[in-house]
Amino acid sequence: MKLSVIICCYNEIATIEEVIRKTLNVDLGGEWEREIIVVDNFSTDGTKEILRTIEDPTVRLFFHEQNMGKGMSIRTGIANMTGEYMIIQDADKEYDPLEHPKFCRKVEETGAAAIYGSRILGGDVQYEYKHAYLGVRFWTFLTNLMYGSSLTDVGTGTKMVRADIVKSLNLTLSGFNLEFELTDKVLLAGHEILEVPINYDPRTYAEGKKITVMDGIRVVLTMLRDRLGMTPLYRPRREKNSENVPR
């Protein structure tokens, strides 16, 4: 089995090397193979220059020609993945790559279509901002109400989905809310999302946290759009091709 780790980054010069190194050093166990797909969303702080020095053949690099949003970076990763499963790994250190074997074991045990890492099931919920915690609780409540799921943490950044499923979902968004479009469409397609407990080390806005109140509003609009089968309630960012760095 092969796991495609999609790492999206934008101005993460302080953490990107460590996250990639930790991901490479994780033993997934069993007969799992791994590729790492790093998508840089037009960083301007030197992140791109660091990425261009990487020579590991299992790390594939893609560079957007302009900032198109995290969702577009995820879509670039999905379009270029070769594994049977993909997992989203943030480029900061809020989520630990050491958790990845948990997801692989869960796949081996259940053959699940999708597995999410839950910060709630972890039992030690940590947030720097009260509004961030309340926002996630609200999003989770709405998702369970509208889609009949029983998730505990729909806002988690670590999401693992089977490749054939994620490629069939016709994901359309380019921002942070794509992660919720992903959830909505997995559930609408009739697949169950399982959860495993994970740890979480939140960062502050001063440390580079990027999610805003407007992102939260877009998430709710996305849930409504997907549930009601509506056309987009806002215009996504214009797409451009990404540049693949050859090996």
pLDDT digits (tens, 9 = 90+) for 21-78: 999 999 999 899 999 999 999 999 999 999 999 999 999 999 999 999 999 999 999 9
The stretch 208-232 carries a mean pLDDT of 82
pLDDT of residue 214: 87
Q: What is the mean pLDDT of residues 215-232?
A: 88
Q: What contacts 235, CB < 8 A, 6 or more positions away? A: none
Task: Dump pLDDT digits (tens) for 150-205.
Answer: 999 999 999 999 999 999 999 999 999 999 999 999 999 999 999 999 998 875 54
Give the pLDDT band (50/70/90) at residue 147.
Answer: very high
Condensed to tens digits (0 to 9), the pLDDT of residues 90-112 reads 999 899 999 999 999 999 999 99
Q: Is the dihedral of CA 54, 58, 59, 65 positive or negative?
A: positive
HSE-CB at 97 with a 13 A cutoff on CA atoms is: 25
Average pLDDT, the chain: 89
Whole-number pLDDT of residue 238: 44
Nearest C-alpha neighbor of 40 from the set 49, 27, 53, 31: 49
pLDDT of residue 123: 63
Is it true that domain 2-233 has CATH number 3.90.550.10? yes
Q: Which of 4-13, 18-27, 80-89, 133-142 has the lowest mean pLDDT?
A: 133-142
Domain boundaries, the chain: 2-233
pLDDT at res. 230: 72
- Residue 2 forms beta bridges with which residues? 33
Rounded CA-CA distance 187/86 in Å is 17
Instruction: Read off the pLDDT band of 210 (50, 70, 90).
Output: low
CB 173 within 8 A of CB 222: yes
- Per-residue pLDDT band for 135 (boundaries 50, 70, 90) equals confident
What percent of the chain is modeled with pLDDT above 70?
85
